[in-house]
Structure 1
Amino acid sequence: MTTPSEQAQRQTDEQQDPGLKTIMSERRQLLNLAYRLLGSLADAEDVVQETYTRWYAMSRAEQEAIESPGAWLTKVAGRICLNLLGSARARRESYVGEWIPEPLPDPAEWIAGAAGGAGVDPADRITLDESVTMAFLVVFESMTPAERVAFVLHDVFRYPFAEVAEIVGRSPAACRQLAS
């Protein structure tokens, strides 16, 4: 429940920035993208925060010149993830033993259709979800950062290769090869 002062603050924010609701509606997708690329919820939240920082660092005129703010935010988040994956810190880290992904706070927000169908055993759904997650993580560990970004954007989020090419900084043909 929100207090009257929080409601007044929200109305003031929306009056100062009419596109705030549109921009903030992209948060879940950006967080989803960054988590799938990085494998860490903390790093994903940092990427989303940095993406919003870059958005609000632009002038109002620059923001209004962008035709699709959601696409711009996704492009920036993808590039930040790519930079993070290629950074010296990421290359220095090595895992001892089997790498286990960190748990997500609320799986219902991450899995489309988490309610499942009628008559399906919830234990089977959990087992399948864990198996798929582990398979993705094994595949991601063998990929380069650019391959990860191309794969996730194209195969998971259904971005066309032309847009993936802009984000990765390569040609569409090279992105097709990366995603394959």
Structure 2
Amino acid sequence: ITSSDSCSVADYRTLQERFGSLFRIINAYGVTEAAIDSSFYEEELAKLPQTGNVPIGKAWLNAKFYIVDAHLNPVPIGVLGELVIGGVGVARGYLNRPELTEEKFVDSPFAAGERLYRTGDLARWMEDGNVDFIGRIDNQAKIRGYRIETGEIESQLLRVEGVREAVVLVRSDANGQKALCAYYTPDTGA
């Protein structure tokens, strides 16, 4: 099982070609707030797109996927929206973080009594019922499995004496490994 927000088609093809006759290879997606892995993609190589990333698939049995606009209205097939997750695996919230809990965990307009987790992930429905992960709605980055809020790093840099402006970006090297890069403008008085 490969589990993250994205898996390149090239990497998935390599896994399938080398090990597909020996093992089932599944591309999964999930977030900690909704029972880690919430979806799976397991299709024949012929059904894969030629480039880009492998779809994150369909929701597991105990999870429900919705792709919505900013007002939690469902969007049609092919239209970008926020992926929200429902089902029994959705957490109750964040410990000692009531404001963040209120923002991310919302009542479902689709099923009475159900709570949804707003992932902040941009996605779209595909014609075949699979979900295509596109990226983030906000500036959150995932590097080696860790969620990083680049804005929080920028605000800490701005607290350093002599720093007037700061920006933090995620860059990828030639091997596709992500790293944080911080840029700043010094205070002219420093």
TM (normalized to structure 1)? 0.29
Q: Where is the strand percentage greater, Structure 1 or Structure 2?
A: 2
Higher relative contact order (CA 8 A, sep 6+): 1
Q: Where is the helix percentage greater, Structure 1 or Structure 2?
A: 1
TM (normalized to structure 2)? 0.28
